[in-house]
Amino acid sequence: MAGDHFPHLFEPLQVGPVTIKNRIVSPGHDTVMVDEGRVSDQLVAYQEARAAGGVGLIVLQAAGVHDTARYTSHVLMAADDSCISGYRKVAEAVGPHGTRLFGQLFHPGREVMESQDGSAPVALAPSAVPNERFHVMPRAMSEEMIADIVASYGHAARRLQDAGLDGVEVVASHGYLPSQFLNPRVNRRDDGYGGSFENRLRFLREILAAIGAETGDDFAVGVRISADELEEEGLPADESLAACVALDAARLVDYLSVTLGTSASLRGSDHIVPPMTEAIGYAVPYAARVKEKVSVPVFAAGRINQPQDAERVLAAGYADAVIMNRALICDPTMPRLAEEGRTEEIRACIACNQACIGHFHAGYPISCIQHPETGRERAYGRRRPAPRPRKVMVVGGGPAGLKAAAVAAERGHQVTLYEKGPRVGGQVLLAERLPGREEFGGAAMNLHAEAERAGVTIVTNVTADVDLVRAERPEAAVIATGALPRRPEIEVLGDPNILDAWQVIDGAHVPDGKIVVSDWRADWIGAGVAVDLARRGHEVVLCVNGYAAVQGLQQYVRDAHLAALQRSRVQVVPLVRLFGADDDAVFFQHVLTKEPVIIEGIACLVLAEGHVPVNGLLDELSGELSTVIEVVGIGDCLAPRSVEEAVLEGLHVGAAL
């Protein structure tokens, strides 16, 4: 019977007046798929894909309830009736799949990330207390402003109800406006909205009352709250719990969605989308604490990536539903596959944060490095059969080659992939061996499995050359031969020990003593090698060709690496370029002043200086056989970049062959 594999996960859940078919929740998360503050066709397609995949509840992304709630240039807005038609499109798209749909109601208060036009807006808060992350000094709200914004929550909820949604969720988590009123360190008012706990809870109470007055009893209302903001200046955990208990006792909520962290600080914000350095399900105990004290359903968040993990949470009674955001971004079909017992086919999230929250922070529509179809559902949501099946040869078993082979085979082509090494996976196999990147290897496993399920023939330990291509006589050849470490031209005197990062990761002997890691890309490779060497007992100096170490990574991942560097006592020297080395010293030049920077007493120089393409076969085939077969290059052999670009190009080519 459907759901027998996970009996708790696929048991229906009553949330106020709404019955949800299973316990899997896609929570509110900004997708950057809006059109001037309104729902776009891209957002409709994105959410429809998750509904078709079997999720029980979708909570649409945070929508500003008031014009002062525009915390980014791409925020979804529900502040006037123009939003209704867009919300209705989403409701009409997900409803036929049996998925319930809630909307998030949001005001950031002082947590304003960016302006609308380049000029800084006036941010609001209970009191004029600044935040640390965005360095915003807000304006203290008058009672008239408070009343206006409270009413706007009710009006926004009514609009979403008119659009056909089943409920709303008030965002009181992560240090946003309702949390700012609750927090005595931020709320320093001396009127009826400040001082005592009851006064500080008044703002949220009035919001919920306004929503109830506008929508009635047939509309679900929930609150998302951080059980602990995990920051000294954050909302105290005991007061967060007290707020949950009070809202439940007053029958103002139908459920509580429990998370961790705060937007107000770097450390606190890392829990908004926790990186792979946090344990699976690490936030569940906080939800369990709330569940012990309230009668309404409790949703638990915090890196619950697989149905097996979700089932354990529910079976233990720690929560009533599980939030599986990135799991559904990575594989929208996960609920259906789990219900059918096909867990080996689920593409597991690796919490790299690169294309999901990383895209959001950069202002681009979210996606997934493993599943670039996410966010591109209108173009790649369905595999279109090839007009004519062809024989396709893929050279290179890294992420680009695997994705291209899988997509081409799914479309009906006869695909053989050649990999010169004993395993497919490319640089991912190195990445997983660095501190803090252990889960990254899941990308190789998932892509490999995707190719095998599609029927790709995978041949390892074979170096493909022009003669092999001639012998195989494919109609199309996809070249994905990757890249190798770059060795820059530097002045070398004597016979210094010089290794590249790949050699260190692969187990090369590193002599005792002080090690310099020269990091040109300022990404995870140089920092990861530096931490690894420090943990082996070396004194390590990380010299970065950027403003800071790991500056190219998404903030929450970057913070984890910076913390690891600090804890490992790695010395970081920023803004330098490698110039030369001798038997005892490494020479750099400051990129701004041109002054020499000399580090002496060195036992070994480790190079993390980027990569160079391995494009010899591509060049040969492009000249010799391009009139006979279709030849296309993808991934690092075109230009060394990241896994994201490699997999995306594999998708593009596999879909176009």
Active-site residue, from 46, 87, 153, 176: 176
Q: Is 176 a catalytic residue?
A: yes
- Residue among 451, 372, 447 at smallest CA distance from 413: 451
pLDDT, residue 627, reads 79
Query: How many H-runs (helices) and E-runs (strands) does the chain carry?
Result: 22, 31
Q: How far apart are the first and last CA of the chain?
A: 40
Residue 108 confidence (pLDDT):
98
Q: Quote the pLDDT of residue 3.
A: 63
Tell me how far apart the alpha carbons of residues 353 and 367 are, in angstroms, rounded to a whole number.
10
Residue 469 has pLDDT above 70, yes or no: yes
What pLDDT, in 10s, does the model give residues 599-608?
999 999 999 9
Question: What integer pLDDT is reported at residue 38 of this predicted model?
Answer: 98
- Cα separation, 341 vs 339, in Å, equals 5
Which pLDDT score is estimated for 624? 74
| Predicted confidence (pLDDT) per residue in 59-92, tens digit | 999 999 999 999 999 999 999 999 999 999 999 9
Cα(51)–Cα(642) distance, rounded to whole angstroms? 30
On average, the pLDDT of the chain sits at 97
With both helix axes pointing from N to C terminus, report the angle between 643-656 and 399-410 in degrees, rounded to the nearest 10: 30
Checking if the pLDDT of 237 tops 60, the result is yes
Asked whether the predicted pLDDT for residue 117 surpasses 90, the reply is no
**Whether pLDDT at 229 is above 60:** yes
Q: Which residue has the tokens 């360095």?
A: 135
| Local structure of residue 455 (DSSP, 8 states) | T
pLDDT digits (tens, 9 = 90+) for 16-56: 999 999 999 999 999 999 999 999 999 999 999 999 999 99
pLDDT for residue 115 is more than 90? no
Is this prediction's pTM over 0.85? yes
pLDDT of residue 2: 52
Whose CA is closest to 140, among 198, 184, 186? 186
The DSSP result for 570-612, as a single string, is -EEE-SEEEEEE-SSEEEEEETTT--EEEEESEEEEEEE--EE
Domains and CATH numbers, the chain: 13-378 (3.20.20.70), 385-485+613-656 (3.40.50.720), 491-609 (3.50.50.60)
What's the pLDDT tens digit per position in 547-599?
999 999 999 999 999 999 999 999 999 999 999 999 999 999 999 999 999 99
Please give the C-alpha separations between residue 73 and each of 32, 257, 360, 494, in angstroms, as whole numbers: 9, 26, 11, 55
pLDDT at 628 over 90: no
Q: Average of pLDDT values for 217-244?
A: 97
At 528 the three-state DSSP class reads helix
The predicted model gives 160-181 an average pLDDT of 98
The least confident of 5-19, 106-120, 457-471, 544-558 is: 106-120
